[in-house]
């Protein structure tokens, strides 16, 4: 059985950033559902359109996988949704104990410093 | 929110359910999960819990599962209500226990049911009550046959309901017939909670129930519900033609006054659904297995909105099972944002150790289904 990890980031660029960090470890994008470890199948959206919005992107995580690990990287589409997305999707997983690591990745910009977000995240 | 009859239940040893804990129940409770995860068993357990002094409910309960005509004997049916003990060869006489705990305005706190099989000879009174001949032949006096006994041991929060804190009652059955239940000691019917169960086959089987419960239909706004199934429905009546048995008739714009039987399953299902809910007393429990059966996807939202509104108005608590994502969405949609706490879903699954249960609150259900599009089943 592979080891599982779950990472929630703020936006699509951060997903790509995390992928670049992990790819040297042999982690490859999973394109087809059949190739994905079934543990993460509950995180695949099954309903289109989201909120009836035909233009909205489906909130599908990027799944990275190698022989030993599968990691789901999820864009929360905004720092305000980081905790919601993490908690909601954690509920969907069948055996949370099997997840060896859950992380929230905060980026740094002029308005928003990761240090200032920590108390909010802790509170949630 | 008005106090619910059940706010939490625990079930252990009933059918395949092991150490199942359903906590923080809502007015509308949706049970989802794979086949054989125990959804229907939860409804059955609730029907037993509602009648803690009436072991006869076990007979009704096993008949509902087998569409009214049991292939196996009644002892076999009861034996398989205790799955863990039943997994042995049938020649072995088994003993088993299942335990229930409940919290809420219904004052029952615990119910322990002890099941034991025996070989014995029915006494003359039991012979007289024999429901039919044994294996196609008359029962011989003194014939030894297999039997089973169920002992109910309820524990109440208040002794006002019973002179004894633990008032026992038993049901005794033999291989091919059952004798009426009798209570040990002084006869007491006990305190019970009004409950009704609807299965996917109820509308075909429970014609008597349907007729007897339908008078409420004429006094309520449930006609609007029937119009969701057929816009040409103008009224509903009980009538007897030529002195025949009273039956339900639908006044229809195109058909005139036509018996309910000429309409499709969906209409009969709707009438039974409405009639059953409206017949329950305040605080009662409605148990619906496969709630979506017979209802077209397009009508689900309106039907469930009626169901949820009626349950709130009449303070009925509802438990439903479903395999349908459309039904789940319609139930979630039926709850307004202000009152979404009313609706709760539980996902059941069986592991090696126990029956696992995940709870989804109303707002979480909204987010997971309508924002993230995830499949909770």
pLDDT tens digits, one per residue of B59-75: 888 888 766 555 677 88
Query: Among B368, B370, B371, whose Cβ lies nearest the Cβ of A92?
Result: B368
Model confidence pLDDT, tens digit, residues A45-95? 988 888 788 988 888 999 999 999 999 999 988 777 888 888 888 889 888
Chain A positions in Cβ-Cβ contact with residue B377 (cut-off 8 Å): none
Tokens found for residue B194: 């009004």
pTM for the complete prediction? Answer: 0.86
Would an 8 Å CB–CB cutoff place A92 in contact with chain B?
A: yes
Q: What is the pLDDT of residue B135?
A: 47
Q: What is the pLDDT of residue B185?
A: 43
Query: How far apart are the C-alpha atoms of B44 and B60, rounded to whole Å?
Result: 10
Torsion sign over Cα A108, A110, A115, A118: negative
Shortest CA gap B228–chain A (Å)? 24
B45 against B120, higher pLDDT: B45
DSSP state of A43: G
Please count the residue pairs, one from chain A and one from chain B, whose beta carbons lie less than 8 angstroms apart: 42
- Spell out the residues 6+ positions from residue B292 whose beta carbon is closer than 8 angstroms to its own: B300, B322, B323, B324, B326, B327
Peptide bond into B129 cis (omega under 30): no
Question: Is-contact B225 B303, C-beta < 8 A?
Answer: yes
Q: What is the pLDDT of residue A4?
A: 95
Query: Is residue B197 pLDDT above 70, yes or no?
Result: yes
Q: Name the A residues in 1-40 with CB < 8 Å from any B CB.
A: none
Shortest CA gap B293–chain A (Å)? 22
CB contact under 8 A, B372 and A51: no
Q: Tell me the average pLDDT of chain B.
A: 80
Greatest mean pLDDT among B102-116, B118-132, B215-229? B102-116
HEC secondary structure over B148-212: EEEEEEEEECCHHHCCCCCCCEEEEEECCEECCCECCCCCCCCCCCCEEEECCCHHHHCHHHHHH
For residue B369, give the chain A residue with the closest CA.
A47
Q: What share of chain A in percent tops pLDDT 70?
A: 87
Query: How far apart are the C-alpha atoms of B217 and B227, rounded to whole Å?
Result: 13
Tokens found for residue B330: 């319609």
Model confidence pLDDT, tens digit, residues B237-280? 777 666 666 677 888 888 888 888 788 777 778 888 888 888 88
Shortest CA gap A118–chain B (Å)? 24
Q: What share of chain B in percent tops pLDDT 70?
A: 78
**To 10 degrees, what angle do helices B297-314 and B325-333 make?**
40
Q: What is the pLDDT of residue A1?
A: 83
Percentages (nearest 5) of helix, strand, coil residues in chain A:
45, 20, 35
Greatest mean pLDDT among B39-43, B323-327, B366-370? B39-43
Shortest CA gap A87–chain B (Å)? 10
Among chain B, residues having any CB pair with chain A shorter than 8 Å are 325, 349, 358, 360, 364, 367-376
Through-space distance between the first and last CA atoms of chain A, rounded to whole angstroms: 31
Q: What is the pLDDT of residue B186?
A: 43
Query: Is residue B342 pLDDT above 80, yes or no?
Result: yes
Shortest CA gap B81–chain A (Å)? 27
Model confidence pLDDT, tens digit, residues B112-122? 999 999 898 87
- Spell out the residues 6+ positions from residue B96 whose beta carbon is closer than 8 angstroms to its own: B13, B82, B84, B85, B86, B114, B115, B116
Query: Among A46, A50, A88, whose Cβ lies nearest the Cβ of B375?
Result: A46
pLDDT band at B133 (very low <50, low <70, confident <90, very high): very low
Question: Is-contact B247 B240, C-beta < 8 A?
Answer: yes
Chain A positions in Cβ-Cβ contact with residue B368 (cut-off 8 Å): 88, 91-92
């Amino acid at each position: 059985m592979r080891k599982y990890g779950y990472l929630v980031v703020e936006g699509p660029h951060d997903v790509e950033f995390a992928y670049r960090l992990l790819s040297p470890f042999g982690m490859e994008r999973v394109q087809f559902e059949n190739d994905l470890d079934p543990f993460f199948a509950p995180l695949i959206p099954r309903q289109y359109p989201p909120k009836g919005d035909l233009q909205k992107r489906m909130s599908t995580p990027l799944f990275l996988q190698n022989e030993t690990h599968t990691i789901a990287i999820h864009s929360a589409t905004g720092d305000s949704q980081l905790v919601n997305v993490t908690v909601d999707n954690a509920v969907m997983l069948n055996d949370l104990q099997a997840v060896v690591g859950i992380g929230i990745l905060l980026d740094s910009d002029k308005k928003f410093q990761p240090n200032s977000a920590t108390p909010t995240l802790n509170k949630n | 929110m008005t106090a619910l009859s059940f706010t939490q239940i625990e079930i252990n040893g009933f059918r395949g359910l092991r150490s199942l804990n359903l906590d923080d129940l809502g007015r509308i409770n949706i049970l989802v999960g794979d086949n054989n995860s125990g959804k229907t068993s939860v409804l059955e357990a609730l029907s037993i819990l509602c009648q803690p002094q009436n072991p006869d409910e076990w007979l009704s309960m096993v008949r509902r599962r087998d569409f009214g005509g049991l292939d196996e004997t009644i002892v076999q049916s009861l034996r398989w209500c205790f799955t863990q003990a039943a997994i042995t060869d049938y020649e072995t006489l088994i003993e088993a226990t299942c335990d229930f705990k409940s919290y809420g305005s219904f004052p029952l706190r615990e119910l322990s049911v002890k099941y034991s099989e025996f070989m014995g000879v029915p006494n003359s009174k039991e012979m007289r009550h024999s429901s039919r001949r044994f294996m196609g032949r008359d029962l011989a006096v003194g014939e030894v046959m297999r039997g089973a006994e169920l002992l109910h041991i309820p524990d109440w929060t208040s002794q006002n309901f019973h002179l004894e804190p633990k008032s026992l009652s038993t049901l005794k059955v033999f291989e091919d017939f059952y004798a009426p239940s009798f209570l040990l000691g002084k006869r007491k019917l006990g305190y019970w909670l009004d409950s009704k169960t609807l299965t996917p086959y109820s509308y075909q089987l429970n014609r008597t129930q349907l007729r007897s419960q339908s008078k409420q239909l004429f006094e309520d706004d449930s006609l609007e519900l029937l119009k969701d199934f057929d816009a040409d429905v103008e009224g509903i009546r009980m009538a007897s033609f030529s002195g025949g048995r009273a039956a339900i008739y639908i006044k229809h714009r195109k058909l005139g006054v036509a018996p309910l039987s000429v309409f499709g399953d969906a209409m009969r299902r709707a009438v039974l659904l409405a009639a059953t809910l409206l017949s329950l007393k305040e605080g009662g429990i409605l148990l619906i297995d496969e709630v979506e059966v017979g209802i077209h996807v397009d009508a689900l939202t309106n039907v469930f909105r009626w169901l949820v509104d009626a349950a709130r108005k009449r303070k009925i608590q509802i438990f439903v099972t479903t395999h349908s994502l459309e039904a789940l969405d319609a139930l979630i949609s039926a709850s307004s944002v202000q009152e979404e706490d009313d609706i709760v879903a539980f996902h059941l699954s069986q592991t090696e150790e126990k029956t696992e249960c995940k709870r989804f609150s109303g707002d979480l259900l909204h987010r997971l289904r309508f924002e993230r599009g995830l499949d909770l089943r």
